[in-house]
Chains A and B, each alone.
Chain A
Amino acid sequence: MATRSQTAAVLLAGALALAACGSGGSKTPAAGGAAGKTLVIDTSFDLKTGDPGRTYEPTGLIIGKAAYETLLTFDGADVTKPVPALAESYELSQDGKTLTLKLKQGAVFADGSPVTADDVVFSLTRVRDMKGTPSFLLDGVEVAKDGDSTIKLTSKAANPALPFILPNPALGIINSKVAQQHGATTDAKDKAEQYLNSASLGSGPYAIESFNVSSQVVLKANPKYYGTKPAYDKVVIRNVEAATQKLNVQRGDSQVALNLSGDQVTGMPNTLQVKKTASANVIFLLANQDSAISKTTTNAKFVEAVRKGVDYAGLLELAGEGSTQAPGVIPSQLLGALPADQAAKRDVEGAKAALAASGLSNPSVKLEYPSELTVNGLSFQPLAERIQANLKEVGITVELAPAPVATALDNYRNGKEEMGLWYWGPDYPDPSDYLAFLPGKTVGLRAGWKPGAAKEIEAAGDKAAVTIGDDARKTVYRDVQTKLNAGGPFVPLIQPSQNIVTAATVTGLEYHPVWTVDVADLGVK
């Protein structure tokens, strides 16, 4: 008996030792070393597809940006000026209706075949007409080639946002011949998605080696890439919870952690680099303007009391270092953002006065928000609790009504929330995306704000939509937001910090509002 026990003990010890020696000591996968040059990025996956034409989730955009090239792009984190990518130059007509792009010569796909004007026309038409999630980006835009190296994009109305839309990785150019052999079409019958989940038909610096929407995506350097070769031969993007991301990057098991909260990056060792940048996500409150939903939130003085009653500094403290207050709905990185000094300030006495002027006595409202959703690692729950406490000081009772995001979205989308706590991230980094907050538009309707409800603001919005020229656009969009802050149902709160932690060996990291990180820009120290 004793001999058998000893044998079992030896076997167990052997198995543990094998585990410890075999992998416990597994070293960093050559972040800075020459061997293999593998980069491991940990992120909480929000990924549905590898088909650029259907991509609209943050993780998908990281992959799309690496594997596919667009006509235009942005230089680093600067989203105020589109720069050439597959197009070497572009020009917007005086009336803003026609965008003419001249294609760069020498660009090739991963199989070595040249990128042609036909590929561009097919790719963009496919995105627009197969009615996937990003189809709206090209709504009403006609795509045509003019010769072999010129593309004309024509809109019925002035579309000054188009150069800012084109860098979206969803508008990546695919090899149309190969795609069509695998079921790609320019209508709703398109069947190429499965193929595009396992193959790269782009001309980007990386190609997809393996793709799994729930666990891991592996990118390998595209040997046919005609531009500057990326620093890493292989990039492994793993689906990892934030708490585990922190330990992995500290231990050296990964080199980049994308989803850490302000609390989690506090006290990081000096051997790691921490980048804290205000994200382009704006968290805001909405007060429903539909009297069938609420008699309280439709009162303009009530909204004023809320705006003056919120402790913005307290919310920033919750969100952590790197976060900023949002002066308007347009985030600080974009053209037309309001300057920081125009941000609302807490004024408890002013809020009480506004509440008294509203005629409402001890009002009580229900605040709905997605309970388990986090934005840049920040949960909505503590924000809602802080707002509840702030407004209680003013005399407003807030009943918290958290719900799972899929459930909460239903009420939000249908404009049934009395008050809501949500966020808006840019679909494309252009202020025109924020016209959605006006009466009768996507977000406006969610706040029960019907067309014609605020004619002055709507007129300002209509003017902004067709204004051409950066300076003029900046002025009109600021005007829209000033009016929106004064008489609209929204209270912009904060832009939480996007915290990215990298190993000391990783260089060139910039947070980007659209694709978070351009892996091809990352270098080795």
Chain B
Amino acid sequence: MKTTGTRARHPLARFLIRRILIALLLAWGITLVTFVLTNMVPGDPVAANLGQRALGDPAIVAQWKAEHGLDKPLPEQYLLHLQGILQGDLGTSQQSHRPVGDDLAAFVPATLELAGAAILISLVLGVAFGVVAALRRDRLPDHLLRVLSLIGISVPTFWLALLAFYVFFYRLQLTPGSGRIDPGMTAPGPITGLHTLDAALTGQWDVFASAVGHLITPALVLALYTIGLLTRFTRSAVLEVLGQDYVRAARAKGLPGRTVLFRYVLRSALVPIITVAGLAFGSLLSGTVLVEAIFAWPGVGQYAYKSATSLDLPAVMGVGLVVGVVYLIINLIVDVLYGIIDPRVRLQ
């Protein structure tokens, strides 16, 4: 009884520990799955990485295999990979010949900046549109937003990216071209790796304006799917809550509409919205591959694509692990937010 009492006193801590342990187990699972899958792919990394002439020289092939640990049996390769991860070493990329960790440190900030801006835009616009659609149910704003969300969900991201680049950059000349900043500019000192933030911190306002300008179109393109998704879910969640007795009671008590909306309706509707936002983040990360390619955004998506096409196994596994861990962290945050928003979840 005493133990139960202690546990009951720290339900959130117990909940957190359980979630973190599950996340660690899943992270190990990710390493195993990425290793097995990358090694099951038909094709020879040696052929993908060496020139045609070099392939004909057994000494060069043997040295290349030894350099990248491919001369060892697969189970040994996996154990070495796992041991490396535990020591913070993700191996050496076969294409860049640099530690995968260093490569990722160079590319992850660009993707985080893009995905972060996209998720921020999605949350603000998606929730706002959903609430407006619910409050104006079956009226013109609702119909318009329904069409918008349908477009966001159904239009392929790569097509939208090409169209946006063509229209806003080429035709209307409103937005800048490829990359993160204008090619004539020097990137701000890497404080956080996020050009917008670094430029602001160092007071380079011309670079800041350039970075924001380069960010806005790809971020909007990337966000459109999530905006569509969030609009639909927020609308249905808000509509469901609006019909609840306690909302009617709050209104009957004469509370202002804003108070009813924020304190009663949105708080209750947040659980499904957070669930969808967490899931959407995963699809947003996968969407970066195409968006980064079209906007020449030097992020993890481009690195992953190049690694996959050249069968750069350490890089592919590194990207898989990092993306998987980011996804786990997002899910962990979502789980914790559930616990905070709805105390019943902690006790289950």
Which residues of A approach B to under 8 Å, CB–CB? 1, 15-16, 18-26, 29-30, 36, 38, 40, 42, 45, 48-49, 54, 56, 131-136, 139, 188, 193-194, 197, 212-216, 234, 236, 238-241, 243-244, 247-248, 250-251, 253-254, 372, 403-407, 409-410, 413, 424, 427, 436, 442
Contact = CB atoms under 8 A, between A and B. Distances in A.
B298 A48 contact: no
B183 A238 contact: yes
Contacts of B184: 29-30, 36, 38, 234, 236
A23 B210 contact: yes
A23 B44 contact: no
Given A19-B213, A213-B96, A409 B183 contact: no
A1 to B, nearest CB: 6
A406 B47 contact: yes
A136 B42 contact: no
B43 A442 contact: no
For chain A, what secondary structure do more than half of its interface residues adopt (helix, strand, loop), or is it mixed?
mixed
Given A131-B63, A194-B98, A372-B309, 9 more contacts: A19-B213, A23-B175, A26-B213, A42-B296, A132-B60, A253-B183, A405-B309, A413-B55, A427-B52
Contact of B296 (A25, A238, A405, A436): A238
A213 B302 CA distance: 11
B173 A251 contact: yes
B131 to A, nearest CB: 11
B183 A236 contact: yes
A121 B53 CA distance: 23
B31 to A, nearest CB: 22
Q: Which of B43, B52, B162, B295 has the most CB of A within 10 A?
A: B52
26 contacts: A1-B258, A19-B213, A19-B216, A20-B213, A22-B213, A42-B296, A45-B306, A54-B97, A131-B63, A132-B54, A133-B50, A136-B53, A212-B106, A214-B298, A215-B296, A216-B179, A216-B298, A241-B296, A244-B296, A253-B177, A405-B48, A407-B43, A413-B47, A413-B55, A427-B52, A436-B53
Contacts of A406: 41, 43-45, 47-48, 309-311
A403 to B, nearest CB: 8
A312 B341 CA distance: 70
Contact of A247 (B95, B170, B206, B293): B170
Contacts of B295: 244
B302 A239 contact: yes
Nearest to B217: A19
B18 to A, nearest CB: 39
Contacts of A36: 184
Contacts of B294: 241, 243-244
B24 interface: no
Nearest to A253: B177
Interface string B180-195: 0111100000000000
A241 B158 CA distance: 12
B121 to A, nearest CB: 10
Contact of B56 (A1, A49, A442): A442
B241 interface: no
Given A23-B213, A194-B97, A410-B44, A215 B302 contact: yes
Given A22-B212, A406-B43, A48 B175 contact: no
B96 to A, nearest CB: 4
B238 to A, nearest CB: 16
A248 B42 CA distance: 36
Contacts of A38: 183-184
A186 to B, nearest CB: 14
Nearest to A36: B184
A133 B67 CA distance: 13
Q: Which of A30, A38, A239, A427 has the most CB of B within 10 A?
A: A239
Q: Which of B208, B213, B293 has the most CB of A within 10 A?
A: B213
Interface in B142-189: 162, 165-166, 168-170, 173-179, 181-184
B51 A427 contact: yes
Q: Which of B51, B55, B98, B106 has the most CB of A within 10 A?
A: B51
B303 A214 contact: yes
Contacts of A136: 53-54, 56-57, 60
Contacts of B175: 19-20, 23-24
B209 interface: yes
A254 B182 CA distance: 10
Nearest to B59: A131
Given A1-B258, A22-B210, A216-B179, A404 B53 contact: no
Given A56-B54, A244-B295, A26 B43 contact: no
A23 B166 contact: no
A290 B246 CA distance: 81
B96 A214 contact: yes
Contacts of B176: 23-24, 26, 253
B233 interface: no
B346 interface: no
B302 A214 contact: yes
B214 interface: yes
Q: Which of B50, B54, B162 has the most CB of A within 10 A?
A: B54
Nearest to A54: B97
Nearest to B47: A409
A134 B63 CA distance: 14
A216 to B, nearest CB: 7
Given A30-B184, A134-B51, A247-B165, A24 B43 contact: no
B35 interface: no
